[in-house]
Amino acid sequence: MQFAYKKHKGLVREEQEDSMAHWPKTSKAAKEKLFAVADGLGGLPDGEIASSNAVKAVMDYTSEHKGIESLAELKAAVMQAQQAVDEQNKDRNIDDYMATTLTLAYLNGDQLWVAHVGDCRLYRVRDQKLELLTEDHAIDRYTLSRAVGFPGEFKVDTKKLKVREGDQLLLCSDGLYGMVEENDLLQPLLTHQDASAAVDALLKSALDNGGHDNISIYVIQI
């Protein structure tokens, strides 16, 4: 497994409200790897705090448990993120709540476990085709139906899949796929054997098309 990543503020937003991280940090070629992308809600206050707290909570959970042993544990990591953002919201009025999307991809051998809330996306490239593995929790382009930090019942989508040699994964915020058509997402992943070059090409496409939002990109090659 090899991967590359990049985060960019974009060309319009004044703040960077995306957060991203991976575990463990030490080895790019580790057998086990957790990837996380979170997009703080720009229409609400302190989106950057919500996204960074959510990602930190996930990484803390994973480090404390020395990895993820089951899909239930991956969901528990997201629940810990929800608790972290809830803690920040407890002294706020409901109109001032902070919130964030959060999508996790955990790889261990040929196993891929996914946990997802919001509208960051995970794609898989296989046999030269791009497949969306997550479902956006959105009412429309600008309104989410689910996010970490929203009051009320909290639900996490989970999924267990298998990967095989030659697969690629694209984990990204809507600052990428909102600016780049799916066919244009696929082409850099097919064209560039180097993950870093693919990330750079994807980022350039998003910026060339306007860069209207914060952009976070992981490209993971199996």
Q: Which domain holds residue 7?
A: 2-221
Strand, helix or coil at 162?
strand
pLDDT value of position 185: 98
Give 190-210 pLDDT, tens digit per residue: 999 999 999 999 999 999 999
- At residue 19 the predicted structure's pLDDT band, cuts being 50, 70 and 90, is very high
- At residue 151 the predicted structure's pLDDT band, cuts being 50, 70 and 90, is confident
pLDDT value of position 79: 97
pLDDT value of position 29: 58
At 182, which CATH number?
3.60.40.10
Give 40-53 pLDDT, tens digit per residue: 997 666 999 999 99
Structure tokens at 3: 């991967």
Mean pLDDT, to the nearest integer, of 84-89? 94
Q: How many other CB atoms are found less than 10 A from the CB of residue 133? A: 18
Do residues 148 and 85 make contact, with C-beta atoms less than 8 angstroms apart?
Answer: yes
Residue 9 has pLDDT above 70, yes or no: yes
By residue count, the chain amounts to 222
pLDDT value of position 69: 95
Mean pLDDT, to the nearest integer, of 102-120? 97
Q: Looking at the 3D structure of the chain, how many domains does it have?
A: 1
pLDDT value of position 103: 98
